Amino acid sequence: MLETVASIKTPTSTIEVLRADWPRPVELTWHDPRAVLTMLFRPTDYEIEGRYPLGTAAKRLDRIGNVFFIPPNAELYGWGTGGEIRAVRCLFEPGFYERTVGRADRMTQTQLHRTLDLQGTLLPTLMTRLMDEALSPGLASVALSEGIATALLIECGRRVSGLSEERPRKAALSPRQHRIIEDYIASLEYEAPSVASLAALCGLSERYFCQLFRDEMGQSAGKYLKAVQIGRAQNYLFNTDLPLKEIAFRLGFANAANFSAAFRAVFHLPPLAFKRQYAAAGGFLKRSA
């Protein structure tokens, strides 16, 4: 069910490009002495949820995003709708992890929760670069991969522990508003995500909503929605043969040129070149039309 398409081993980490066709639905429990950072390429209707540690009184499952991080020796239970997915992951050796970001057993429950959905454009960009190197190794691949993996681990550490939960807050987004945000993102189709629209749905002024969002998520609402939009673009490119014009339309761009410019700003390649590059690497991605 789980196939390793390509891999690179460095002194401190292992990078693997994977594909799988899971049963419908699928339940998994992950436990490894190594920390693992994963980026999923999944169909837009593929859902995955999880919680940890397994066996606690809390039974709620939280959404797992396209990029998520599992600390060393943490036990994560996950549930998914099943189907075909592709992924790239980076597994960090325990000693390297502790030397770089500290002991994982000191993570709080809030910090653990943050690991399930790491937003922003930097992590996907670095993970995509690692996938590129694994699929098509070049000069000094091991050294380059180790450097990128180190940057990834440091960035994960900053994302997870960046906000102190001990710091008192005067206000925060409510659980209901968090559900509104999740539902809004899930329902996006043929329109660009809008901070103003999301603030209105939450019943807040745009300025106040952005302030609360930044306090809780550690990044602006605009950057978060941009990452969501680019993530949807990757799903369309990797999992469909839709023409570029149709993808742009579904993502809410005025035209294909605007979509290409936004995509190039993140990945430094136009969308079709990005897709062809990986389609040529051992058939990992579906061939473009």
- Flag whether pLDDT at 190 surpasses 70: yes
pLDDT value of position 246:
93
Reported as a single tens digit per residue, the pLDDT across 45-95 is 788 899 887 544 456 788 898 899 999 998 888 888 888 888 999 999 999
Structure tokens at 176: 């209901």
pLDDT, mean over the chain: 84
Taken in order of first residue, the domains within the chain and their CATH numbers are 2-161 (2.60.120.10), 175-217+219-279 (1.10.10.60)
pLDDT value of position 1:
66
What are the phi and psi torsion angles at 49 (to 5°)? -135, 160
- Flag whether pLDDT at 184 surpasses 80: yes
Tally of CA atoms within 13 A in the half-sphere of 121 that contains its CB: 20
Cis peptide before 53 (omega within 30 of 0): yes
Q: Residue 256: enclosing H or E segment and its boundaries? A: helix 256-267
pLDDT value of position 258:
92
DSSP 168: -
Q: What is the C-alpha separation between 281 and 289, in angstroms, rounded? A: 16
Interhelix angle 271-279/256-267, rounded to 10 degrees, is 60
pLDDT band, residue 29 (cuts 50/70/90) = confident
Burial of residue 157 (number of CB atoms within 10 Å: 0-12, 13-18, 19+): middle
| pLDDT above 70 coverage of the chain, percent | 90
Mean pLDDT check: name the lowest of 12-16, 51-55, 116-120, 151-155.
51-55
pTM of the model: 0.63
pLDDT value of position 2:
77
State the DSSP string of 70-129.
E-TT--EEEEE--EEEEEEEEEE-HHHHHHHH--GGG--HHHHHHTT---SSHHHHHHHH
Reported as a single tens digit per residue, the pLDDT across 221-269 is 998 888 888 888 888 887 788 999 999 999 999 899 999 998 888 888 8
Q: What is the C-alpha separation between 193 and 224, in angstroms, rounded? A: 10
Closest CA to 89 of 47, 30, 163: 30
Average pLDDT over residues 100-112: 81
Q: Do residues 221 and 214 make contact, with C-beta atoms less than 8 angstroms apart?
A: yes
DSSP alpha helices (H): ranges in 205-255? 206-217, 221-239, 244-251
Closest CA to 160 of 108, 96, 205: 108
Mean pLDDT check: name the lowest of 7-21, 28-42, 49-63.
49-63
Angle (nearest 5°) at CA 141 between 18 and 270: 65
Structure tokens at 214: 């930044």
Structure tokens at 87: 């992924």
- Strands 13-22 and 2-9 turn out to be antiparallel
- Measured from the Cβ of residue 205, the count of other Cβ atoms closer than 10 Å reads 12
pLDDT value of position 194:
92
Q: Do residues 34 and 93 make contact, with C-beta atoms less than 8 angstroms apart?
A: yes
